[in-house]
Structure 1
Amino acid sequence: MKTKLVRITTVPVSLKVLLKGQHKFMSEYFDVTGVSSSGQELYEVKDSEGINVVAIEMSRAITPLSDLKSLWKTYQFLKKQKPQIVHTHTPKAGIIGMLAAKLAKVPLRLHTVAGLPLMEAQGTKRKVLDFVEKLTYTSATKVYPNSKGLYDFILKNNLAQSKKLKVIGNGSSNGIDTRFFSPENINDEQKDQLKKDLNITASDFVFVFVGRLVGDKGINELVQAFSQISKNADRSKSVKLLLIGPLEEHLDPLQPETVQEIKNNPDILDLGFQKDVRPYFAVSDALVFPSYREGFPNVVMQAGAMELPSIVSDINGCNEIIVEGQNGMIIPVKNSDKLKVAMEKILSDTDLYQKLKINSRPMIQSRYEQSVIWNELLKEYKTLLKENNIDV
């Protein structure tokens, strides 16, 4: 009889994408069940990962009545299943899953922190989010910040004690599959066709951003910096900017002038959400990722594995994946002038660019290969089970 492991996320896409492959790996050692709100992705996880799934509705917003219903249903489920381990990801799943697991007397209650919305919150909202995080961590037996920066932030803000915290491996929730994210998987014919479709010429230097097009991803600063560069560019090395991701106008909308520049600048290609970002990395020269806050951004690891250097803001996660002058450049957060300087530097300094590019993939492979992260987490599970005298 295998030990029961329940993994909980707020929405099914997190189970499917952020933890892809990890459930299947863990199911070799545990009886794994994935829990999240309902949705097609939840049942795709069941098929692709070969695990049990259960739908329990959870809201991403602050909705007290709905949250109480979610808490009650999660408690009932855990009380019936009696798992030895409950491991939660994402903020709402964390508070509901950890409280329910404590009430159900689950011995090992684990929560991974992969970003903190409270970092950008102020006033009453910040106080509420602080309270929720503290309650989540108090209910957990172990908390895993997925970056050293998050670890430091949690300690500095007295959200949890150091004895409860641990970073798995070098950080990241799931590592990166460098066999999948490899430039070898995109052939010259595919690249040539995509360049033709996007009107990218041999003389173009292509910057790419992948993520939600919202304010706290630094899109306003990126578009402002790029606009100045594109207008002043030496036409022997023209520039383009690919924006890969959905425009979320209802959450943290972009400034009106940013939206207009995206629409009107012919060198900015707004390509929306793309299921497979690898071809777009393959026709690009550098990632620009000036986000305000992150946990441990997958996109920076993905770009590095695809041999792209990155320009990132000086925030946790980003400033751990990127080493200044080795595989990319680090700029101050919310600073379009410094971002412009970095983009111009990587454009003009060919020797620097080649050095960053050559180092990019090896520096991801050596620190964040997916199998390394999975085995470190498995080791952690087994250690905790042994310490608590629970048979594996």
Structure 2
Amino acid sequence: MIKLIRTSTIPESMNILLKGQLKFLGEFFDITAISGENSYLEELVERENVQVFPIEMQRKIAPVNDFISLIKLYFYLRKVRPTIIHSITPKAGLLSMLAGKMAGVPIRMHTFTGLIFPTRTGFMQALLIKMDQLLCWAATNIYPEGKGVESDLKKFKITTKPLKVIANGNVNGIDLDYYSRKEINDDVTELLKKELHIEKDDFVFIFVGRIVGDKGINELIEAFIGLKSKKSKLLLVGTFEEELDPLQKGTYDEIQRNGNIITVGFQKDVRPYFSISDVLAFPSYREGFPNVVMQAGAMELPSVVSDINGCNEIIVQNENGLIVPSRNVEKLRAAMEQMINNKENYLKMKSNARKMIEQRYDRNFVWKALLDEYNRLLVNEKINPNV
């Protein structure tokens, strides 16, 4: 079978973002997953039935460590001689594409799941742009996760190579059988509500993701505490990352003391939390193509999202959610108030939420489109996909 290498900077990315996909592709390719070593990488072996090879890669810019990772990748690729290497996440993309080019891997694919440089300024933005330009120079094929990412790659002149969005965007699509309210027992939701002190007439906004500044948490907390409705709750599902992107002190203090703000940390299964909520609030500064917005939609939740890449492709204004300007507390608060007070519009958006995900992002459709792309590239290289 043709050898395919998939890489990500940290194993959590591959484990979560590509769930089920590697097992599907394993029917057609000999797959090895490369990322840092921890339990998430080990889980891939059991769940996805693929081989793994641990190589540590730093998320931050770390020249010495990055060079060591690059050399390790190069020697591994020279040893196993794969036909395809396909990376996600920024650092793994840069190192994998460079190592792949050095090692002579014929098909070198990178999917941009999100861009960091549009939210940076000055020297840091210039450095990040140069890194992405270098990545694209070393890659043979480049895939923006959505139209917004594609637009930014063109706008900032990251590459002149052709860009292609697979299917309708997103790296993996949604497992609609798994993300379904039918899968969550009513007894589970009632018990969870009781544990979290959520009453029957509470209107619950939920955020799922890293509890950091870049996800718009400072603005979300400010907007929430300004709501007129006193029967609202804000449920935060995710971990704080105080070293990488700390919240403002006032935000953190408010989260700790406000009884209507509930934190539950990281949850492997977020479905019960969606099931006890009314609206996803996701005011992130930057995304590629956010899984959480699709997951919420599949769980029949409308969303309030910021007007950024991915979010504004999944959400259609007043159809399955509301779109507000990024970093704008007043517009965010107004949208949240509208969700509470305009019952007719809320119910319309709620009824549309799942079917709009079904129509565009079923994972089987996304997987088939990716398999077709691999086979197309193999044919272009005059390699028989069925070898």
Q: With structure 2 as the length reference, what TM-score do the two structures score?
A: 0.98
Q: What whole-Å deviation, never above 9, does each CA across 1:103-143 have from its counterpart, x for those lacking one?
A: 11111000000011212222211111111100001100111
Within 1, Cα distance between the matches of 2:66 and 2:144? Answer: 24
Q: What is the aligned counterpart of 2:290 among 288, 291, 297?
A: 297
Match of 2:321 in 1: 328
1:17 maps to a residue whose letter is I
Match of 2:185 in 1: 187
Deviation at 1:164, TM superposition (A): 2.4
Within 1, Cα distance between the matches of 2:382 and 2:29? Answer: 16
Deviation at 1:338, TM superposition (A): 0.2
After the TM superposition, which residues 248-287 of structure 1 pair with which residues of structure 2 at under 5 Å, given as runs?
248-287=241-280
Q: What is the aligned counterpart of 2:162 among 164, 168, 183?
A: 164
Match of 1:204 in 2: 202
Match of 2:34 in 1: 35
Within 2, Cα distance between the matches of 1:389 and 1:290? Answer: 46
Deviation at 1:78, TM superposition (A): 0.8
Within 2, Cα distance between the matches of 1:114 and 1:215? Answer: 19
Q: State whether residues 85 and 107 of structure 1, in contact with CA within 8 Å, keep that contact through their aligned partners in structure 2.
A: yes
1:228 and 2:221 correspond: no
Q: What whole-Å deviation, never above 9, does each CA across 1:318-366 have from its counterpart, x for those lacking one?
A: 0000000100000000001000100001100110000000000000011
1:224 maps to a residue whose letter is E
Q: State whether residues 145 and 167 of structure 1, in contact with CA within 8 Å, keep that contact through their aligned partners in structure 2.
A: yes
Deviation at 1:12, TM superposition (A): 1.2
Q: State whether residues 205 and 240 of structure 1, in contact with CA within 8 Å, keep that contact through their aligned partners in structure 2.
A: yes
Within 1, Cα distance between the matches of 2:67 and 2:252? Answer: 39
Within 2, Cα distance between the matches of 1:118 and 1:53? Answer: 30
Q: Which sections of structure 1, spanning at least 5 residues, go unmatched?
A: none
Match of 2:20 in 1: 21
Secondary structure of the equivalent of 2:346? helix
Q: What is the aligned counterpart of 1:308 among 293, 301, 317?
A: 301
- The worse-fitting range, judged by mean Cα deviation, of 67-76 and 331-340 is 67-76
Q: Which sections of structure 2, spanning at least 5 residues, go unmatched?
A: none
Secondary structure of the equivalent of 1:127? helix
Deviation at 1:157, TM superposition (A): 0.5
Aligned length: 385
Match of 1:65 in 2: 64
1:34 maps to a residue whose letter is A
Match of 1:49 in 2: 48
Deviation at 1:380, TM superposition (A): 0.3
Structure 1: which 4+ aligned runs deviate by more than 3 Å?
A: none
1:221 maps to a residue whose letter is E
Within 1, Cα distance between the matches of 2:72 and 2:199? Answer: 56
Match of 1:84 in 2: 83
After the TM superposition, which residues 108-187 of structure 1 pair with which residues of structure 2 at under 5 Å, given as runs?
108-161=107-160, 163-187=161-185
Within 1, Cα distance between the matches of 2:297 and 2:187? Answer: 22
| Identity level (%) | 51
1:343 and 2:336 correspond: yes
Within 2, Cα distance between the matches of 1:277 and 1:119? Answer: 30
Q: What whole-Å deviation, never above 9, does each CA across 1:50-81 have from its counterpart, x for those lacking one?
A: 11110112111111111111111111111111
- The worse-fitting range, judged by mean Cα deviation, of 117-126 and 22-31 is 117-126
Q: What whole-Å deviation, never above 9, does each CA across 1:238-288 have from its counterpart, x for those lacking one?
A: 111101111111122111111111112111112211111110000000000
Within 1, Cα distance between the matches of 2:197 and 2:37? Answer: 40
1:56 maps to a residue whose letter is I
1:268 maps to a residue whose letter is I
Within 2, Cα distance between the matches of 1:112 and 1:164? Answer: 13
Q: With structure 1 as the length reference, what TM-score do the two structures score?
A: 0.97
Within 2, Cα distance between the matches of 1:39 and 1:216? Answer: 26
Q: What is the aligned counterpart of 1:242 among 232, 235, 241?
A: 235
Within 1, Cα distance between the matches of 2:241 and 2:69? Answer: 26
After the TM superposition, which residues 336-375 of structure 1 pair with which residues of structure 2 at under 5 Å, given as runs?
336-375=329-368
Within 2, Cα distance between the matches of 1:255 and 1:92? Answer: 27
Match of 1:385 in 2: 378
Within 1, Cα distance between the matches of 2:331 and 2:362? Answer: 31
Secondary structure of the equivalent of 2:22? helix
1:197 maps to a residue whose letter is E
Within 2, Cα distance between the matches of 1:57 and 1:164? Answer: 30
Deviation at 1:201, TM superposition (A): 1.2
CA RMSD of aligned residues (A): 0.9
Secondary structure of the equivalent of 2:358? helix
Q: State whether residues 141 and 164 of structure 1, in contact with CA within 8 Å, keep that contact through their aligned partners in structure 2.
A: no
Deviation at 1:23, TM superposition (A): 0.6
